[in-house]
Amino acid sequence: MSDAKAVADRLVKAKRLNALLTPPKELRKSLNTQIVAARPTGVLYGMPVAVKDNICTLEFTTTCASRILEGYRSPYEATAVAKLKAAGALIAGKTNCDEFAMGSSTEHSAYGRVLHPLDKTRVPGGSSGGSAALVGAGAVPAALGSETGGSVRQPAAFCGVVGIKPTYGRVSRYGLVAFGSSLDQIGVFGRSVHDAARVLSVISGRDPRDSTCEDRDPLRLPTVPESLQGFVVGLPKEYFPSELDPAVRRACERAIRMMKELGAAVREVSLPHTPYAVPTYYVIAPAEASSNLARYDGVRYGPRFNGAADLRSLYRATRGQGFGPEVRRRILVGTYVLSSGYYDAYYRRAQQMRALIAQDFRNAFDRGVDLLFTPTVPTPAFKAGEKLADPIAMYMSDIFTVTANLAGLPAMSLPIGRVKGLPIGGQLIGQAFLEDEMIEAAYALERVVPATDEA
Amino acid sequence: MSPAWETIIGLETHVQLRTRSKMFCGCSTAFGAPPNTQVCPVCLGLPGALPAANGAAIGLAVRGALALGCTVHPKSVFARKNYFYPDLPKGYQISQFDQPLATNGTLSFLSSERGVVNATIVRLHIEEDAGKSIHDRFPKATAVDLNRSGVPLIEIVGGPDLRSPAEARAYLQTLKQLLEYIGISDCDMEKGSLRVDANVSVRRTGEMALNTRTEVKNINSFAFVEKALTVERDRQVALIESGGTVTQQTMLYDSKENSVRPQRSKEESHDYRYFPDPDLPPLVLTPEFVAEQQSELPELPAAKRDRFVASYGLSREHAMVVTATRAVADYFETVAKTSAEHQAAANWVMTEALADAKDYNDQLRVSPAALSQIIGLVKGGTLSHQAAKRVFAEVAAKGGDPRSVAESLGVIQVADSNVVSGWVTDVLGAHAPEVGRYKNGETKLMAFFLGQVMRASKGKADPKLAQRVLEEKLAS
Amino acid sequence: MSVSREEVLRIAQLAELDVEEEVVPTLAEQMSRILDYAAQLSAVPANGTVKVFVPGPDAIRFRIDEVTPSGLAFGPEEFAPDFKEGFFVVPKLGQFE
């Protein structure tokens, strides 16, 4: 049971990271109120959880790190947030992110970039960089983020924390501001597998308000296993290319060795359509986003840019000025691929390719593999500004993570080593709705892997 | 209209389904609430909101499709129709595109020009309504009310099978009757629960190909359907005859001027970028669900008409009148069965009951039991037809039991033969010369004697009985 | 796949957002790069025999037809940029009404 002041102090101490969008005064005031109202019998009683700013809360604003929602206060809260509160958790502020979750470095926020907790010249990853940085800095034990193409796992790997993306349909999306509807899921950051898994368990489960949320009970947490005896772990060869950063490779090899020592059977598998994953993602996600972001028009909420002129000018100025360049670019690409004449060549083809990618995973799992293990990101955290010139360079950092979103599978990153002090993440990909097996393996690995040792 | 030209019309109708809540959220669909009071995150298009489909709306849509003889597809898909307008809160409408709920049905209606026409129903799909934009409440601004945003609609697309504005009206009236019969909508054009857009083109008689068509919008009543289409047809014919060509555009009907003008849409784009809505899994209908909707369908108007002709011996024309609405048909049938006087029942319904209902908001104020009684009283001679009409009007306005009402009005006919005999005797006694003339062959004097008896009895004598007694007495 | 300047402007119009004249060439170039990159999808045979894949439930759930509370902690008057007499207010479409 933490007291409001201590929670707030820890968060305010990490101010320099620019990870928290909530002003300290508002944060303190809210925490004082929340702590009184929190349910003492809740399983997360008193646990402060920071929430990515694209998830609707009644406390604080919800801006999605965009000017187009500057100052917006949501009149309702996300189902996941309501569940956290019902379990006694404290909503410990809203975290900075890439605008509308579009990005891999949290450099595309309208409110400034987020600093990596260990090296201020580097990015924490994205789009959930603020949540990852706060957990990485020890300012808060857990935080909610969101995933569309790796936006929880990649920053988790960069910041040296645990990040879990559930199976698509495991956690309600009601109240998660939509980006790529068929890819989006709320994910969780934690200092440990246990912290992240506990929070995931609480926010998971059926929600009649979300038609894509499966009618299932909340996730039941596994116990920490003695060994990995009986687990078959697959290593997809496409995720260990020759150009892989040597330190990342060394850290993975060490983790694989340890899994074997724990009794796991390890074998190589192939997911042949992996090279098509990033282009597939960069057709589907912008297409869905272009439609999901059509509602931001200055009519019913948010600020108006050029509100006095005629209707079309209101739309075009609000959207032209309210959205940042990355969001604008994705809306344009998305609009293009859905437009008449291009739908079959791009969007439909991408949905077909998606089926082939999902089939690759099914084939691997059908051959007796329980889990897959891969590096989370090809490199450790890169320098701020390094990948801004070419959008495709930025997209490539998602290469190992987008497949799980395309296939709707659960996946997580846990820290498995360091290179020159920078964290490296290892990724586990599980079977649909078998998060418990994935978490069980993560528990075992976490206990033995020297996460803060140089690889 | 010159026989040199043929008009081709196809109608698209939007029908609001009678549900308590909206298509994708639990907000009320009740008409007439203060603006923006029946709204929630979903139908407001707030960030993060998601749709959840109304099962009853789906059921009603399936019933509509079945009643139109459509093929109902076990799997259909909701798609997003993307465009920007202030009363479209999400910037897209959830509708159906290339995998609609139903296709390939028929609507048979009676054309005054061609007899029975079997118009094609190309497709029927489910979608959500937009809100309302009001352009004349604030100066230089549009007021937007989102109460209507998200109300369930079915869109019914008819093929280019109609050949005149009058046929368009007949088609629409038949469609309205059908949907009202199966109870899925109020189909009220005034309230906006039935809206129609028309596709119109013309061609020279004998041509096979279809020419460019225009779309006519803003038609707000059945009468305006005919007027608007006539105006547009005439415009197209005049245009072509003067050497011009018809361009594909949307025309707005102005009922005050009875004219059409192009909807100025320099920047209107028809690229709706349809794609399956990723927030909604496919709409899958089990055979049990479809069978349940089928079983909920009442007897349809055409079948009911046929049955009334066969079982109650009504003429086709009379059957059409008493089956105009389901309420009237059920009313007639109850009266017919209870009174066992089928033709009388039909006559009473067609004349007194419907005339009264017209002034009282379509309410059939006299209960079927009461009307049955009135019919019985006439048959039994207790009331003359005139008297019965007075009783009917009284019961309609104030209720009550017809016999008691007749008594208090003092219109009960006297059918006591002694009393009637007395009157007859008096009359014959007072008119001996006429009696003589009658006995000599001037049998048409019977009407005179009857009139005298009615006068003597102050209208109360049962005319049939009086006539019989007169005949007896005059025969002797 | 080269995206022309005109196409950028046409798409921007469809998407109802302003793009400054200076950035149009860069946008055209970036969009071209992205779409070229996406063209790798032509590896999927064009005959459409591969079914599409979307995760999530196989069939829509039917919600019961009942009126439920709005779930709004406060009404549109609190968050709307222009709200009068119960209505959202927007400037007229202008000459294109």
pLDDT 10s digits, A130-151: 999 999 999 999 999 999 999 9
The pair phi, psi for residue A169, each rounded to 5°, is 100, 0
Looking at the predicted structure, is the pLDDT value of residue A2 above 70?
Answer: no
Query: Predicted confidence band at A1 (pLDDT cuts at 50, 70, 90)?
Result: very low
DSSP state, A294? G
pLDDT at site B13: 97
At position A110, the amino acid (one-letter code) is A
* pLDDT number for residue C96: 44
Q: How far apart are CA B418 and CA B269, in angstroms?
A: 88
**Residue B430 falls in which region: left (phi positive, over 0), alpha (psi -120 to 50) or beta:** alpha
Write out pLDDT tens, residues A116-130.
999 999 999 999 999
Q: Tell me, what amino acid is at C46?
A: A
Structure tokens at B456: 């003597």
Q: Give helix B417-430 / helix B445-456 axis angle, nearest 10°.
A: 120
Burial of B92 (0-12, 13-18, 19+ CB in 10 A): buried
pLDDT at site A394: 84
Q: B–C: how many Cβ contacts below 8 A?
A: 118
Of B333, B342, B351, the C-alpha closest to B313 is: B342
C46: Cβ–Cβ under 8 A, 6 or more apart, which residues?
A: none
- What rounded mean pLDDT belongs to chain C? 90
What is the bridge-based pairing of β-strands B92-96 and B102-111?
A: unpaired
Per-domain residue ranges of chain B: 5-290, 299-409, 417-475
Rounded to whole angstroms, the Cα distance separating B445 from A176 reads 94
pLDDT tens, A233-280?
A: 999 999 999 999 999 999 999 999 999 999 999 999 999 999 999 999
A267-300 pLDDT, tens per residue?
999 999 999 999 999 999 999 999 999 999 999 9
**Region B342-360 average pLDDT:** 92
Please give the C-alpha separations between residue A153 and each of A132, A159, C70, in angstroms, as whole numbers.
9, 10, 35
Q: Considering only the beta carbons, identify the residue of C72, C87, C93 that sits closest to B144.
A: C87
Contacts of A300 (CB under 8 A, 6+ apart): B44, B45, B46, B89, C76, C79, C80, C81, C88
- Please name the member of C19, C44, C56 whose beta carbon is closest to the beta carbon of A169: C56
| Residue ranges per structural domain of chain C | 1-44
* A175 at interface of B, judged by CB pairs closer than 8 A: yes
CA A233/CA C64 separation, integer angstroms: 44
Phi, then psi, of B224 in degrees rounded to 5: -65, -25
**Could you give the CA distance from residue B162 to residue B9 in angstroms, rounded to a whole number?**
5
| Angstrom distance (rounded) from CA A198 to CA B200 | 63
CB spacing of B55 vs C62 below 8 angstroms: yes
Are C96 and B267 an interchain contact pair (Cβ–Cβ within 8 Å)? yes
ipTM of the prediction greater than 0.95, yes or no: yes
Greatest mean pLDDT among A216-225, A301-310, A339-348, B415-424: A216-225
Instruction: Tell if the CB–CB gap between A335 and B273 is shorter than 8 Å.
Output: yes
C34-69 burial by CB neighbour count: b if 16+ within 10 A, else e? bbebbeebeebeeeeebeebbbbbeebbbbebeeee
Question: Which CA distances in Å does A290 have to A144, A337, B93?
Answer: 24, 10, 14
Distance from CA of A59 to the nearest CA of B (A): 15
CA–CA distances in Å: residue C34 to residues A283, A286, C30, C37:
9, 11, 6, 5
Nearest in space to B407 (alpha carbons), one of B386, B387, B379, B381: B387
Neighbours of chain B (3+ CB pairs under 8 A): A, C
Which H/E stretch holds residue B5?
strand B5-16
Distances (CA, A) of B293 to B54, B61, B153: 15, 9, 17
Distance to chain B for C85, nearest Cα, Å: 9
Residue A278: which residues within 8 A CB-CB, separation 6 or more? A395, A396, A398, A399, A402, C37
A125 φ/ψ angles, rounded to the nearest 5 degrees: 95, 180
Give per-residue burial for A300-334: e unless 16+ CB within 10 Å, then b.
bbbbbbbbeebbbbbbbbbbbbbbbbbbbbbbbbb
Flag whether pLDDT at B380 surpasses 90. no
Confidence tier at B1 by pLDDT (50, 70, 90): low
Q: CA A64 from chain center: how many Å? A: 14
pLDDT at A104 over 70: yes
List helix spans (H) across A137-262.
153-159, 193-203, 246-261
Joined together, the tokens standing for residue A453 give: 């040792």
Residue contact B273–A182, C-beta within 8 A: no
Task: Please choose, from the candidates A215, A212, A335, the residue with its C-alpha nearest in 3D space to the C-alpha of residue B277.
Answer: A212
Residue B416: its pLDDT value, please? Answer: 77
Rounded to whole angstroms, the Cα distance separating A301 from A406 reads 32
Tokens for A63, please give them: 């801006």
- The answer to whether A142 touches A424, Cβ cutoff 8 Å, is no
| Nearest chain B alpha carbon to C83 | B143
Percent of chain A with pLDDT over 90: 93
Eight-state DSSP code of residue A63: -
Partners for A (CB, 8 Å, 3+ pairs)?
Answer: B, C
Nearest chain B residue to A298 by CA distance is B86
Which residue in B181, B157, B185 sits closest to B70, CA to CA?
B157
Tell me if chain B has a CB within 8 Å of the CB of C16: yes
User: For domain C1-44, is the CATH number 3.60.20.10?
Assistant: no
Q: Are strands B283-284 and C83-84 parallel, antiparallel or unpaired?
A: unpaired
Q: Helix, strand, coil % (nearest 5) of chain B?
A: 40, 20, 40
**Rounded CA gap, A260 and A449, in Å?**
12
CA distance B355 to chain A (A): 49
If pLDDT is split at 50, 70 and 90, which confidence band does C93 have? Answer: confident
pLDDT in tens, A363-376: 999 999 999 999 99
Which of these, B352, B422, B426, B423, lies nearest to B391 by C-alpha position? B352
Distance of CA A123 to the CA centre of its chain: 15
CA R_g for chain A: 21
Q: Which chains touch C (3 or more CB pairs under 8 A)?
A: A, B
The gap between the terminal CA atoms of chain B, to the nearest Å, is 69
| Residue A397 one-letter amino acid | S
Q: What percent of chain C has pLDDT over 70?
A: 92
Chain B residue numbers with beta carbons less than 8 Å from the beta carbon of C17 are: none
Which pLDDT value is given to residue A9?
95
Q: CB A75 to CB C42 under 8 A? A: no
For chain A, say whether C31 makes contact (Cβ under 8 Å): yes
Q: Which fold has domain B417-475?
A: Arc Repressor Mutant, subunit A (1.10.10)
CB A64 within 8 A of CB A100: yes
Cβ separation of B36 and C90 shorter than 8 Å?
no
Structure-block tokens of residue B386: 């005139």
Residues A166-211 pLDDT 10s: 999 999 999 999 999 999 999 999 999 999 999 999 999 999 999 9
Residue C41 tokens read as 């999808």
Give the pLDDT band (50/70/90) at residue B362. confident
3-state secondary structure of A349: helix
CA–CA distance, A33 with B423 (Å, rounded to integer): 98
Edge-first strand order for the sheet with C83-84 is B132-134, B141-145, C87-91, C83-84
- pLDDT computed for residue B270 by the predictor: 75
Instruction: Give the DSSP letter string of C16-81.
Output: T----GGGHHHHHHHHHHHHHHHGGGGGS-TT--SPP---S-SSPPPBP--------SS-HHHH-S
Model pLDDT for residues A43-91, shown as the tens digit of each residue:
999 999 999 999 999 999 999 999 999 999 999 999 999 999 999 999 9
Retrieve residue B342's tokens: 């089928």
Is C43 at the interface with chain B, CB within 8 A? Answer: no
Residues of A belonging to the active site = 52, 127, 151
> Taking each helix axis from N to C terminus, what angle separates C5-14 and A325-338, rounded to the nearest 10 degrees?
90
List for chain A the helix, strand, coil content (%; round to 5).
40, 15, 45
Angle at A350 between CA A346 and CA A354, to 5 degrees: 180
Average pLDDT, integer, range B358-382: 90
Using CA atoms, how far apart are residues A401 and A153, in angstroms rounded to an integer?
7
Inter-residue contact A142 to A156 (CB < 8 Å): no
C-beta of residue A103 within 8 angstroms of C-beta of residue A126: yes
Q: Is the peptide bond before A127 cis (omega within 30 degrees of 0)?
A: yes
Mind telling me how many Å the CA of B63 is from chain C's nearest CA? 16
Mean pLDDT on B314-338 = 92
Residue type, B447: A
For residues B384 and B380, give the distance between their C-alpha atoms in angstroms, rounded to a whole number.
10
Copy the structure tokens of residue B70.
């459509």
